[in-house]
Protein backbone atom coordinates (compact mmCIF):
# COMPACT_ATOMS: atom_id res chain seq x y z
CA UNK A 1 0.00 0.00 0.00
CA UNK A 2 1.31 3.42 -0.96
CA UNK A 3 1.87 6.01 1.71
CA UNK A 4 -0.26 9.10 1.61
CA UNK A 5 1.00 12.52 2.72
CA UNK A 6 -0.07 13.56 6.19
CA UNK A 7 -3.02 15.95 6.37
CA UNK A 8 -3.24 18.90 6.13
CA UNK A 9 -0.79 19.41 3.32
CA UNK A 10 1.75 22.20 3.80
CA UNK A 11 1.39 25.31 1.67
CA UNK A 12 3.71 25.87 -1.29
CA UNK A 13 5.89 28.20 0.79
CA UNK A 14 6.02 25.75 3.71
CA UNK A 15 6.80 22.88 1.33
CA UNK A 16 9.70 24.81 -0.19
CA UNK A 17 11.10 25.52 3.29
CA UNK A 18 10.70 21.87 4.28
CA UNK A 19 12.41 20.77 1.08
CA UNK A 20 15.36 23.03 1.86
CA UNK A 21 15.66 21.64 5.39
CA UNK A 22 15.34 17.98 4.39
CA UNK A 23 17.73 18.32 1.43
CA UNK A 24 20.35 19.96 3.64
CA UNK A 25 19.88 17.29 6.31
CA UNK A 26 20.01 14.42 3.81
CA UNK A 27 23.26 15.75 2.40
CA UNK A 28 24.79 16.18 5.85
CA UNK A 29 23.81 12.69 7.02
CA UNK A 30 24.98 11.11 3.77
CA UNK A 31 28.36 12.82 4.04
CA UNK A 32 28.69 11.88 7.73
CA UNK A 33 27.76 8.26 6.93
CA UNK A 34 24.79 8.31 9.35
CA UNK A 35 22.55 5.83 7.57
CA UNK A 36 19.47 5.88 9.83
CA UNK A 37 19.31 9.67 9.89
CA UNK A 38 19.88 9.79 6.12
CA UNK A 39 17.02 7.36 5.49
CA UNK A 40 14.71 9.34 7.78
CA UNK A 41 15.57 12.62 6.04
CA UNK A 42 15.19 10.93 2.67
CA UNK A 43 11.67 9.75 3.54
CA UNK A 44 10.70 13.28 4.56
CA UNK A 45 12.34 14.75 1.44
CA UNK A 46 10.47 12.28 -0.78
CA UNK A 47 7.18 13.21 0.85
CA UNK A 48 7.72 16.94 0.36
CA UNK A 49 8.89 16.36 -3.25
CA UNK A 50 5.69 14.42 -3.86
CA UNK A 51 3.64 17.20 -2.29
CA UNK A 52 5.29 19.84 -4.48
CA UNK A 53 4.90 17.82 -7.69
CA UNK A 54 1.43 16.34 -7.15
CA UNK A 55 -0.41 18.91 -5.06
CA UNK A 56 1.32 22.20 -5.89
CA UNK A 57 1.86 21.30 -9.56
CA UNK A 58 5.55 22.15 -9.43
CA UNK A 59 7.56 20.80 -12.37
CA UNK A 60 10.11 18.14 -11.44
CA UNK A 61 12.80 20.39 -12.90
CA UNK A 62 11.95 23.16 -10.41
CA UNK A 63 12.10 20.75 -7.48
CA UNK A 64 15.48 19.47 -8.67
CA UNK A 65 16.81 22.99 -9.15
CA UNK A 66 15.81 23.95 -5.60
CA UNK A 67 17.52 20.84 -4.17
CA UNK A 68 20.65 21.59 -6.22
CA UNK A 69 20.76 25.20 -5.02
CA UNK A 70 20.26 24.32 -1.36
CA UNK A 71 22.86 21.57 -1.44
CA UNK A 72 25.37 23.71 -3.34
CA UNK A 73 25.05 26.38 -0.66
CA UNK A 74 25.37 23.84 2.18
CA UNK A 75 28.26 21.82 0.74
CA UNK A 76 31.20 23.64 2.35
CA UNK A 77 29.60 23.63 5.82
CA UNK A 78 28.83 19.92 5.51
CA UNK A 79 32.33 19.18 4.24
CA UNK A 80 33.70 21.05 7.26
CA UNK A 81 31.53 18.86 9.52
CA UNK A 82 33.09 15.79 7.92
CA UNK A 83 36.60 17.16 8.50
CA UNK A 84 35.74 17.92 12.14
CA UNK A 85 34.36 14.40 12.63
CA UNK A 86 37.52 12.90 11.13
CA UNK A 87 39.60 14.99 13.54
CA UNK A 88 37.45 13.88 16.49
CA UNK A 89 37.83 10.22 15.56
CA UNK A 90 41.60 10.64 15.17
CA UNK A 91 41.80 12.21 18.63
CA UNK A 92 39.78 9.33 20.09
CA UNK A 93 42.10 6.84 18.39
CA UNK A 94 45.01 8.47 20.20
CA UNK A 95 43.42 7.67 23.56
CA UNK A 96 42.71 3.98 22.85
CA UNK A 97 44.86 1.51 24.73
CA UNK A 98 45.45 -1.30 22.24
CA UNK A 99 46.44 -3.62 25.10
CA UNK A 100 42.97 -3.41 26.64
CA UNK A 101 40.39 -6.13 25.98
CA UNK A 102 38.48 -4.23 23.29
CA UNK A 103 41.14 -1.68 22.37
CA UNK A 104 42.14 -3.20 19.04
CA UNK A 105 38.51 -3.71 18.01
CA UNK A 106 37.64 -0.09 18.89
CA UNK A 107 40.68 1.13 16.96
CA UNK A 108 39.71 -0.92 13.89
CA UNK A 109 36.17 0.47 14.06
CA UNK A 110 37.45 4.05 14.19
CA UNK A 111 39.86 3.43 11.31
CA UNK A 112 36.95 2.13 9.20
CA UNK A 113 34.84 5.18 10.08
CA UNK A 114 37.69 7.55 9.28
CA UNK A 115 38.27 5.83 5.93
CA UNK A 116 34.57 6.09 5.04
CA UNK A 117 34.48 9.77 5.98
CA UNK A 118 37.64 10.44 3.98
CA UNK A 119 35.97 8.94 0.91
CA UNK A 120 32.95 11.23 1.32
CA UNK A 121 35.17 14.22 2.03
CA UNK A 122 36.61 13.76 -1.46
CA UNK A 123 33.31 12.94 -3.20
CA UNK A 124 32.30 15.63 -5.67
CA UNK A 125 29.36 17.88 -4.94
CA UNK A 126 27.74 16.78 -8.21
CA UNK A 127 27.87 13.12 -7.20
CA UNK A 128 26.39 13.81 -3.77
CA UNK A 129 23.58 15.89 -5.26
CA UNK A 130 22.92 13.21 -7.87
CA UNK A 131 22.62 10.56 -5.15
CA UNK A 132 20.25 12.60 -2.97
CA UNK A 133 18.04 13.65 -5.90
CA UNK A 134 17.90 10.13 -7.30
CA UNK A 135 17.07 8.62 -3.90
CA UNK A 136 14.40 11.21 -3.09
CA UNK A 137 12.64 11.09 -6.46
CA UNK A 138 12.74 7.30 -6.63
CA UNK A 139 11.24 7.11 -3.14
CA UNK A 140 8.61 9.73 -4.06
CA UNK A 141 7.71 7.63 -7.08
CA UNK A 142 7.60 4.34 -5.17
CA UNK A 143 6.01 5.45 -1.90
CA UNK A 144 3.71 8.25 -3.06
CA UNK A 145 2.86 7.35 -6.68
CA UNK A 146 4.53 10.54 -7.87
CA UNK A 147 5.28 10.80 -11.56
CA UNK A 148 8.88 12.01 -11.74
CA UNK A 149 9.12 12.11 -15.50
CA UNK A 150 8.29 15.45 -17.06
CA UNK A 151 8.71 16.27 -20.73
CA UNK A 152 12.10 14.79 -21.68
CA UNK A 153 13.34 14.39 -18.11
CA UNK A 154 14.03 10.91 -16.79
CA UNK A 155 15.72 10.27 -13.45
CA UNK A 156 18.27 7.82 -14.83
CA UNK A 157 19.45 10.34 -17.43
CA UNK A 158 19.80 13.15 -14.88
CA UNK A 159 23.08 15.05 -14.67
CA UNK A 160 23.38 17.82 -12.08
CA UNK A 161 24.11 21.31 -13.36
CA UNK A 162 26.55 22.63 -10.81
CA UNK A 163 27.83 26.16 -10.52
CA UNK A 164 30.54 25.62 -7.88
CA UNK A 165 32.44 22.91 -6.10
CA UNK A 166 31.87 20.18 -8.70
- Give the pTM: 0.83
Q: Is the pLDDT of residue 126 over 80?
A: yes
Q: Is the pLDDT of residue 12 over 70?
A: yes
Q: Is the pLDDT of residue 164 over 50?
A: no
**pLDDT band for position 122 (50/70/90)?**
confident
Most confident residue range from 88-97, 140-149, 157-166: 88-97
pLDDT of residue 118: 94
pLDDT of residue 151: 45
Mean pLDDT of the chain: 88
Q: What angle, 0 to 180 degrees and rounded to 10, lies between the N-to-C axes of helices 12-31 and 103-121?
A: 130
pLDDT of residue 85: 97
Amino acid sequence: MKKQPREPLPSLEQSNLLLETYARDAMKFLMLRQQNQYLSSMQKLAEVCSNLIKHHNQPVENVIKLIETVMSNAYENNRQSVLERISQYQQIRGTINLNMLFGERDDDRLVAQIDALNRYKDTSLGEIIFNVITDSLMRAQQDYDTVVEHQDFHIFDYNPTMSKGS
